[in-house]
Amino acid sequence: MPHVNVKFFPKEVSEEQKRGLAESITAALIEHLGTRDGAVSISLEPVEKDVWNDTVVQPEIAGRPDLLIKRPDYL
């Protein structure tokens, strides 16, 4: 605990970028949730633009507004 799943439109992400992203997210979780480095897991999940609304927006954003801590400006 915790696990973070980052969904995004497919694009090339280098190993260096992945490492930097993981380090930044992990640091934020340690600071704000008081967790430890070894307890954090993070995944990157590319989602095609043509299915974004059906697989991300509807079930996870619009369908669960009570869980959002930051709302996108496209809704």
CATH of the domain at 60: 3.30.429.10
> Is 46 inside a domain boundary?
yes
Distance (Å, whole) CA 45 – CA 5:
7
Give the number of domains in the chain. 1
What is this structure's pTM? Answer: 0.91
Give the structural domain span for 57.
3-67
Strand partners, 8: 46
pLDDT at 39: 98
Within a domain: residue 10? yes
Q: How many residues does the chain have?
A: 75
The pLDDT score that the predictor gives to residue 75 is 86
Residue 38 domain-assigned (yes or no): yes
H or E segment and range at residue 4: strand 3-8
Q: For the chain, first and last CA: distance in Å?
A: 29
Q: pLDDT averaged over the chain?
A: 97
Within its chain, how far is the Cα of 11 from the centroid?
A: 15
Within a domain: 14 = yes
Using DSSP's 3-state secondary structure scheme, residue 48 falls into: coil
Please indicate, yes or no, if residue 73 is contained in any of the structural domains: no
Active site amino acids:
2
What is the mean pLDDT of the segment spanning 4-16? 98
